């Protein structure tokens, strides 16, 4: 007679049987009640373990890796004793479903003497991204780590090939990761190649602009429906980690090419996607001040092992 369905986080679909044996379909947006909450802790082994111990939802943690992956090497930059603070939404849909995580709104990492703080912000013309305290977008045109849960296992440069047994140039980075881990598009672009490619096994190459391309190899499978010529956006899942081609185990081989010449992804100095100035910068600064007033996080010193939760901010989503 009727069916109510929540197919994703923001939509309610209602089907009702009509007297003429047809079904009417009504779709409406879900009005969430958003509570901003957070977590802060000292990192003993890894950000993943520290955040998990504070019960940070996995979706928020993955967003943190994705966003901060533009500026932080999670394998080499983080040391025991560093600290993190996160602010994020928890959404209440009332009778439509349980509470679930919404957007990451704030993140701060203190790495030794360096503190990196970022804030989610939407510009007047509708661009939403993360910006540092100076109003510079943390997102660059290409991500440093385009795989979720990857561990950097091999650097750019000459090396003794683990399978072939002789020295040759390694033209990218290798990230050891579980088989099936999502591989992300490092930047906006067009899929130029999606096929088996010699020792690379299953392979994807994306053209981002007239200068830069990125390549992804040893994949287990491609994202469903992805074809050459498709347009992709930064952070979109394009494939999954595997060990196809010449590989000792599951890993992602990642290359950045400038004018078709391999570049060291670690040393690339890419400009921010957006820099706020003038009235937009002033608006951003007001927004972040309000955000921090509702979520008081001390980023100037390392927190004590146990911190009270920040004061919640009740607000309608949007």
Chain centroid to CA 240: 15
| Residues sharing a CB contact under 8 Å with residue 70, sequence separation 6 or more, in sequence order | 138, 139, 140, 143, 144
Full 3-state SS string of 168-182: EEECCEEEECCCCCE
- Min mean pLDDT across 66-75, 126-135, 171-180, 191-200 is at 66-75
Q: Which pLDDT value is given to residue 163?
A: 52
pLDDT at 202 over 70: yes
For residue 191, what pLDDT is reported?
96
Identify the band that residue 153 occupies on the pLDDT scale cut at 50, 70 and 90: low
- Strand ranges of the sheet holding 128-132, from the earlier edge strand across to the other edge: 128-132, 114-122, 100-111, 83-92, 33-42, 313-316
145: three-class secondary structure by DSSP: coil
pLDDT band at 305 (very low <50, low <70, confident <90, very high): very low
Long-range Cβ contact pairs of 115-118 (< 8 A, separation 24 or more): 115/299, 115/300, 116/68, 116/71, 116/72, 117/299, 118/67, 118/68
Ramachandran region, residue 94 (left: φ > 0; alpha: ψ -120 to 50; beta: rest) = left
Q: What angle do CA 65, 66, 72 make, to 5 degrees?
A: 60
Indicate the SS3 state at residue 262: strand
Pick from 145, 118, 114: which is nearest to 234 by CA? 145
Question: Quick one: pLDDT at residue 196?
Answer: 92
- Residue 172: phi, psi to the nearest 5? -160, -160
pLDDT the model gives residue 240: 93
User: Mean pLDDT score of the chain, rounded to an integer?
Assistant: 80
In tens, the pLDDT along 94-126 reads: 666 667 788 899 999 998 888 889 999 999 888
Which of helix, strand or coil describes residue 263? Answer: strand
Measured on CA atoms in the order 200, 194, 154, 257, is the torsion positive or negative? positive
| Tens digits of residue pLDDT in 12-64 | 788 888 888 888 888 877 676 777 888 889 998 888 888 888 889 888 888 88
Q: How many CB atoms lie within 10 A of CB 267?
A: 7
């Amino acid at each position: 007679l009727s069916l109510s369905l929540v197919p994703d986080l923001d939509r309610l679909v209602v089907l009702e049987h009509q007297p003429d044996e047809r079904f009417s379909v009504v779709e409406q947006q879900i009005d969430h009640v958003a509570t901003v909450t957070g977590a802060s802790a000292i990192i003993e082994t890894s950000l993943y373990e520290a955040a998990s111990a504070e019960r940070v939802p996995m979706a928020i943690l993955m967003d943190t890796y994705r966003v901060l992956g533009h500026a932080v090497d999670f394998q080499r930059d983080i040391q025991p004793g560093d600290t993190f603070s996160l602010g994020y939404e928890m959404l209440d849909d009332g009778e439509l479903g349980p509470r679930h995580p919404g957007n990451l709104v704030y993140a701060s990492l203190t790495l030794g003497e360096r503190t990196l703080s970022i804030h989610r912000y939407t510009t007047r013309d509708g661009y939403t991204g993360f910006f540092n305290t100076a109003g510079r977008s943390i997102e660059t045109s290409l991500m440093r780590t385009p795989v979720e849960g990857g561990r950097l296992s091999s650097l750019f440069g000459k090396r003794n090939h683990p399978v072939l047994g002789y020295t040759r140039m390694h033209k990218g980075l290798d990230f050891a990761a579980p088989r099936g881990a999502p591989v992300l598009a490092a930047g906006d672009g067009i899929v130029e190649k999606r096929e088996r490619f010699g020792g690379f096994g299953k392979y994807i190459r994306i053209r981002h602009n007239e200068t830069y391309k990125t390549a992804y190899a040893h994949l287990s499978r491609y994202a469903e429906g992805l074809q050459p010529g498709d347009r992709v956006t930064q952070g979109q899942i394009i494939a999954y980690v595997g060990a196809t081609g010449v590989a000792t185990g599951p890993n992602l081989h990642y290359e950045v090419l400038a004018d078709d010449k391999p570049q060291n992804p670690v040393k690339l100095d890419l400009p921010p996607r957006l820099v706020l100035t003038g009235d937009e910068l002033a608006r951003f600064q007001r927004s972040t001040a309000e955000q921090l007033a509702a979520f008081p996080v001390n980023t100037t010193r390392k927190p004590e092992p146990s911190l009270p939760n920040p004061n919640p901010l009740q607000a309608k989503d949007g």
